[in-house]
Chain A
């Protein structure tokens, strides 16, 4: 289902829990699918004893992928024109993440009706782990 501009207001926010109690196995699942098997993400012994981290942690791209699911659920399939952001803090096994999307603008400057969203994914302590943006084509 694509989003209709009629139903959107600038400043409006949408929010969803995107992962609860992140499991090490999901991180490994992402490693297998993406091809990024960095032992920092897949190998607890390496991550703690060699690299000095408290445990393995999620790929930034897993956090972005999980965030992206919330965005595509909101704007519809195949509607994104851009999606990006910064990885601000690591995401650890056991974390809960929530993504909030805020409508910054609705315009047709490019000939297509577009929504501009700012995105924020935070963990259970309210710490920002990813902030970014997305633009998507919307229906009238």
Chain B
């Protein structure tokens, strides 16, 4: 989820069973409510649901997302050389940010209902606040906020996400 500077509606974000299962595995969560139809069907949710941070995977369906390699487009990761392309400067950074200076500072979710397999979300993203701070180690810090609404096939809000990205002047090690 990049921090953008304009309101935009993105492609549909279908909540698919295999994708939810792979995501749950990647965060080390063996809960069968994320992959077992029979178990989930008998739970109070009545269906396979997605883990609380799953909407972050909308990056898979967002054509303007800069941190997913795209077919036919040069990628800036290593190949023959340590970097494959000129790094592009991206305001704000997204999850992890771009090019070594954009980092994810904060993430906030409000859940309006459980997100279920079979839902088809549409996202609307708008910029929020911007502010600056002087960091002890990283120099000037530029914070920017993005608010994303995830609505279902009926136009109802499912999740509201607020992302804060920070750009630093220098590389910071924990």
A129 CA / B31 CA spacing, docked (Å): 24
Q: Are A73 and B57 in contact (CB under 8 A)?
A: no
Q: Are A19 and B28 in contact (CB under 8 A)?
A: yes
Q: Does B49 contact A (CB under 8 A)?
A: yes
Given contacts A34-B56, A35-B68, A53-B173, contact A43 B111 (CB under 8 A): no
Number of A residues contacting the other chain (C-beta, 8 Å)? 54
Q: Are A33 and B23 in contact (CB under 8 A)?
A: yes
Contacts of A89 in B (CB 8 A): 174
Q: Are B26 and A26 in contact (CB under 8 A)?
A: yes
* Total of A-B residue pairs, C-beta within 8 Å: 174
Q: Are A80 and B52 in contact (CB under 8 A)?
A: yes
Query: Would you give the shortest CB distance from A80 to chain B, in whole angstroms?
Result: 5
Contacts of B96 in A (CB 8 A): 36, 38, 40-41, 59-61
Q: List 19 A-B contacts (CB under 8 A).
A: A34-B95, A36-B67, A37-B77, A39-B78, A43-B78, A50-B78, A53-B171, A59-B96, A59-B104, A61-B53, A65-B26, A65-B51, A69-B28, A78-B43, A78-B114, A80-B109, A81-B111, A83-B111, A86-B105
